[in-house]
Structure 1
Amino acid sequence: MLALLTPLIKQRPRLINSILPSINLLLGALLFAAISLSSHASAVSSNIVVLAVLADWLHLVAAALWVGGMLYITTTYLPVLARKPVAERAHSLVTLIPYFSPLAFAGVLIMALTGPFAATIHLSSWVQLFTTAYGRALTVKILLVGALLTTSAIHVSLIRPRLKREYYKYAYAVEGVTYNQAQQVKLREGRVTTLTRRLMGVLRWEPLLGVGVIVCVGLMNVFAGTLTPIAAPTQPTTTKPAAAFNATVKTTDNKFTAKLNVNPNRFGTNIFTVTVIDNSTGKPSSNVGVSLYTTMLDMDMGTDSVNLRPDGKGHFSAPGDLAMSGNWQIRIQIRTPDNTLHETKVKLFTPF
């Protein structure tokens, strides 16, 4: 609103005129802060969000110094200058434009520091420069900034120094200090006119590259979501039923055969069932006692015991815990009526 009202209200108090530039500068800085806080810079992890937002804000300020200054030169300064004689145009260009160079250099320096920093935050791989819309917009922006640097270097290091030399030679020729012949004056004037038009042409079209940079910045905000790949739809998985563990082993003295069943063989509570076969008769034995001792092999967790209860048909069962998934050893102990112990061991892997 202030930018629109400033040219309309020409009769302003002196105090307003003195503070108006500062107010515009403050409001512009706040606008850039709002843009940074709502851009992709604020969507990074919380431990670097402050640095990301600050870098983005500085990047916008730098673009305003550099590109904004070029736009002012093109839209305001050059149209006024075009109505002046060639000598005044040349004098103004070699006198006033150098004052803008420090601001432009500061903008370039800040962009050179904050740009790669922001890229390292938002890009996880250089491949994303070509495989994502955000990366392609960033690539075009880099190319446009490179073109801007090239054109700026051309008119700062080549055209402007030559114009400055030719203008002073022309001024000396007009004053008769060095050259007092009309032919020399006309020759110098022709060179000054050519260089002035060339410099004004570069300054007039250079901001178009800057506008392209600003468009790319906007597209990067729009396409920031392409940096996070969209998860592919997954097929619904069906949980396989738990598979019970079964093993058949003989005792070390070969007098009994133990058939062990662990159901469902998952960490947590399981049902342990042992069927005892007397090898001398080949029939289940019910007049024995059965105990199990479970030991975790992957971690020292001690040994737990499970006393199994008989069903009168040669089967012994009881609930017990396998406290975690992994490799277990189960020692089966069979006690006969004469208190003789017959043992065997089984190893199994219990999944999660």
Structure 2
Amino acid sequence: MKRRKLLIVVLGIGFLILITFLGTSLESLIPHPPTAAVQVEQAGPYQVTLQVSPNPPSVTNPANLSLQVVKKASGQLVSNARVTLSSAMQTMDMGTEELVAQPQSPGNYHAQAHFSMSGPWQLRVQISETGTPAASTTFDVTAR
């Protein structure tokens, strides 16, 4: 009787390990769309353009994120904004990395992000400019 209970427990644990392994393996086999070379999104009164280099970003090295912020109505480059980014993995909780993009030239900002695991990530970009309400948008990035 004790031997039978032990066998059931061992088989149950083995089954749980097998299911966990299969779930993890299947997640890595599911194809995720590649990151577009250039992505453009609207954030309130702004048009935001994102370029990721290298593309696709690697999990072993930080990715360079280049952002261009333009006022949608006038086409004028926005050079005095505070641009912040937060990255979060879409398929599991890997935490959120908060970044402040540094101005490079009028309307152009740069940041480096660390994607700690391959798969789909979401970058949330928030733009705040004195006298204007903050605006935000999101971009999808697939790390490899």
Report the TM-score when normalising by structure 1: 0.29
1:244 is displaced (CA, Å) by 7.5
Could you say which structure has the larger radius of gyration?
1
Q: Determine the structure 1 residue equivalent to 2:90.
A: 297
CA distance in 1, matches of 2:95, 2:131: 29
Alignment of 1:268-287 (within 5 A): 268-287=61-80
Q: How many residues align?
A: 107
**What do residues 209-266 of structure 1 show as CA deviations (whole Å, max 9, x unaligned)?**
xxxxxxxxxxxxxxxxxxxxxxxxxxxxxxxxxx884211001x3x100001111122
CA distance in 1, matches of 2:36, 2:113: 14
Match of 1:341 among 107, 128, 134: 134
- Any gaps of 5 or more consecutive residues in structure 1? 1-242
1:280 is displaced (CA, Å) by 1.9
CA distance in 1, matches of 2:130, 2:110: 19
Aligned with 1:273: secondary structure? Answer: strand
Q: Determine the structure 1 residue equivalent to 2:122.
A: 329
CA distance in 2, matches of 1:323, 1:244: 20
Report the TM-score when normalising by structure 2: 0.68
- Does the CA contact (< 8 Å) of 1:244 and 1:263 recur in 2? no
Alignment of 1:170-209 (within 5 A): none
CA distance in 1, matches of 2:38, 2:99: 17
CA distance in 1, matches of 2:127, 2:71: 11
Partner amino acid, structure 1, of 2:120:
N
CA distance in 2, matches of 1:286, 1:296: 29
Aligned with 2:94: secondary structure? Answer: coil
Q: Determine the structure 2 residue equivalent to 1:266.
A: 58
Partner amino acid, structure 1, of 2:39:
A
1:350 is displaced (CA, Å) by 1.6
1:339 is displaced (CA, Å) by 6.0
1:286 is displaced (CA, Å) by 0.5
1:348 is displaced (CA, Å) by 2.1
How well do the aligned residues superpose, as a CA RMSD in angstroms? 1.7
Partner amino acid, structure 2, of 1:247:
Q
- Runs of 4+, deviation exceeding 6 Å: none
CA distance in 1, matches of 2:141, 2:48: 15
Partner amino acid, structure 1, of 2:139:
V
Partner amino acid, structure 1, of 2:58:
R
CA distance in 2, matches of 1:316, 1:334: 11
Structure with the higher helix share, 1 or 2: 1
Match of 1:250 among 39, 42, 67: 42
Match of 1:311 among 104, 107, 113: 104
CA distance in 1, matches of 2:143, 2:113: 13
- Does the CA contact (< 8 Å) of 1:249 and 1:258 recur in 2? yes
- Any gaps of 5 or more consecutive residues in structure 2? 1-34
**What do residues 293-337 of structure 1 show as CA deviations (whole Å, max 9, x unaligned)?**
000112211111111000232100022211111000000100111
Structure 1 residues 344 and 284, CA, compared in 2 at 3 Å: closer, same or farther? same
Q: Determine the structure 1 residue equivalent to 2:9.
A: none
Partner amino acid, structure 1, of 2:109:
F
CA distance in 2, matches of 1:319, 1:344: 18
Partner amino acid, structure 2, of 1:317:
H
Bigger RCO of structures 1 and 2 (CA < 8 A, at least 6 apart)? 2
